Amino acid sequence: MRRLILLPIAVATATLAAQAPQPDWSAIEAETLTHFQALVKINTTDPPGGERPAVEYLKQVLEREGIPTQAFALEDHRPNLVARLKGNGRKRPVLIMGHTDTVNVDEKKWTFPPFSAARDSGYIYGRGTIDDKDNVTGALMTLLTLKRLKVPLDRDVIFLAEAGEEGASRLGVQFMAEQHFADIDAEYCFAEGGKRHARERRAEVRRDSDAREDSRDPSSSSRTDPRATPRSRSRATPWPISPPPSGRRRRGSRPSG
């Protein structure tokens, strides 16, 4: 599970002052797994689309920690959620995105029920485990960890839990870019497709969504073995915090069909 959270935390901490306290990685791993399974258990398939329960979950977790959130919805049952950790303003914000919707599913093809988040032999089974509730969980844990450790930030860290990525971006990232851009405006954006340097404001934000590495084929997000899916952003990101000793054990999340 640690891989799910290392990348966004690395992203966020790459711009920090150096003396951040060390995270308790075993506690973070356990909590990450809890949030990850909770999110996978929430059926947010599109069609029909219904991200609100996932947004409510994220909202209560973040606000319980004193991190304010705002929901933005073009359609009431399909909100986007934005949370922001304030930096000192020396640099422009970094935006971490993950989408809460998933493609739909044919339950008959699954070894474990697709919303069970069943854990078996080192894997979590479920729709959305690698597209994109892994990144949503990573972003969530990034904000929680930075906040708890009181890490000094020289830029705001914004988390956008995006609705409608799997075919309804008009109420997700497009809606946010067109109507609430100030709430997600950032110098850099990290999303499932990689990263973008926001030189051209809206155009760059949209391109991030367009550049995702998965397809809309419902079967595509069920076939990928995460052990064989290196994320390009990890290679480019300095990692200032030592990984835990348990970091080498096998982990991942593999849906089954």
Pick the closer one to Zn ion by CB: 131 or 185: 131
**CA separation for the pair 242, 230 (Å, rounded):** 20
Q: Which of 31, 51, 101, 131 binds Zn ion (CB under 5 A)?
A: 131
Pick the closer one to Zn ion by CB: 132 or 156: 132
Distance in Å, CB of 97 to Zn ion, minimum: 10
For residue 45, the surrounding DSSP H or E stretch is: strand 45-46
Distance in Å, CB of 241 to Zn ion, minimum: 27
Pick the closer one to Zn ion by CB: 101 or 156: 101
**CA separation for the pair 11, 19 (Å, rounded):** 16
Which listed range, 27-35, 156-164, 168-176, 210-218, lies at the site for Zn ion (CB under 5 A)? 210-218
- Which residues ranging from 212 to 241 are in contact with Zn ion (CB under 5 A)? 214
Pick the closer one to Zn ion by CB: 183 or 214: 214
Distance in Å, CB of 173 to Zn ion, minimum: 11
**CA separation for the pair 62, 115 (Å, rounded):** 23
The pair of structure tokens assigned to 228 is 């064989």
Cis peptide before 113 (omega within 30 of 0): no
Which listed range, 51-59, 124-132, 172-180, 240-248, lies at the site for Zn ion (CB under 5 A)? 124-132
The pairing of strands 80-85 and 157-162 is: antiparallel
Pick the closer one to Zn ion by CB: 145 or 209: 209
Q: Which of 132, 156, 185, 208 binds Zn ion (CB under 5 A)?
A: 132
Distance in Å, CB of 192 to Zn ion, minimum: 5
φ, ψ of residue 9 in degrees (nearest 5):
-65, -40
Q: Is 196 helix (H, G, I), strand (E, B) or coil?
A: strand
DSSP letter for 48, please.
T
Distance in Å, CB of 47 to Zn ion, minimum: 16
Q: How far is CA 91 from CA 144, 187, 204, in A?
A: 21, 8, 18
The contact set with Zn ion (CB under 5 A) reads 131-132, 214
